[in-house]
Amino acid sequence: MALGAAAKFIDPKAYADLNNALSGFHSDESYAIPNRFEVMILPPRGASASMMGEAREVSLRCESLTIPGRNLTTLTDSNIYGPTREIVDGVTYAEDIEMVFQSSGGLDERVFFESWQELTFNPRTWNIGYYNDYIGTVEIYMLDRQDTKRYGVKLWEAFPKTITGTELSQASNNEIVKTSVSFSFRYWETLDLNRQPPKQNDLAEETGKNTAEITNKRNQPATVDLMAAAKARHAKDW
């Protein structure tokens, strides 16, 4: 290659330019905004009626949160010729996510999560409760400017693991007290119906159809071969 020669590519033009970026900003898709979200905290089924009734009010007071991530655990495959490569051997989810709530005058939000935590243990005997008795779910939605849900995830087997301390100060007379709660959960899945994997019944039905089709295709040539052989023997006898 001669010194100073221009590089040569299959497509020399850039994929994106300023006009494309501006048109995308003004389109219906636009961009996601961090303050357009909705969260729905659903306590365990065994929770008291008062907790179930307070869940909606507590959810509406959520000021900030983090949509959890997902990580693929990998192993290094060195048993190949040339550079090594990473292969997936499992999946993990974010350990905890933190939510910040604007507190009412009686710290009702803090009381709500304290009551939830007390489903995990007996405050008198210190006995630990059953796992299924204190796990709930959390639904998180991203909204657009028209309050339409555009993205959503559901956290399964969630419970308030940590209630952080509430800081008080005489110098802060124009601020709202915040309650921070760290949720532990096992995994999350999408709430978008178009992206959800098929149910087990659907998989079984589809597998059954495929199996039947394969069986029919395998049996059909055999039947034709038998008929041909029979015709051949009949012709030979004559």
Which pLDDT score is estimated for 233?
A: 54
Q: Which of 199, 200, 184, 68 is nearest to 120 (CA)?
A: 184
Strand 85-93 relative to strand 70-77: parallel, antiparallel, unpaired?
antiparallel
Which pLDDT score is estimated for 94?
A: 82
The span from the CA of 100 to the CA of 58, in Å, is 11
Identify the bridge partners of residue 77 per DSSP, sorted by sequence position: 85
Instruction: Judge contact between 186 and 176, C-beta under 8 A.
Output: no
Which pLDDT score is estimated for 223?
A: 45
Which pLDDT score is estimated for 238?
A: 46
Q: Is 41 helix (H, G, I), strand (E, B) or coil?
A: strand
The span from the CA of 234 to the CA of 238, in Å, is 7
| Residue with tokens 């306590």, as numbered in its chain | 43
Which pLDDT score is estimated for 219?
A: 54
Which pLDDT score is estimated for 194?
A: 92
Instruction: Judge contact between 155 and 138, C-beta under 8 A.
Output: yes
Instruction: Judge contact between 101 and 64, C-beta under 8 A.
Output: no
3-state secondary structure 102-166: ECCCCCHHHHHHHHHHCCCECCCCCCECCHHHCCEEEEEEEECCCCCEEEEEEEEEEEEEEECCC
The span from the CA of 77 to the CA of 85, in Å, is 5
* pTM for the full predicted model: 0.75
Which pLDDT score is estimated for 224?
A: 46
Block means of pLDDT (10 residues each) for the chain, 238 residues, are: 76 70 64 91 90 94 95 92 93 92 94 95 94 96 93 97 92 88 96 86 58 55 50 51
E strands, the chain, are: 37-42, 62-64, 70-77, 85-93, 96-102, 136-143, 149-163, 178-184, 187-190
Instruction: Judge contact between 192 and 149, C-beta under 8 A.
Output: no
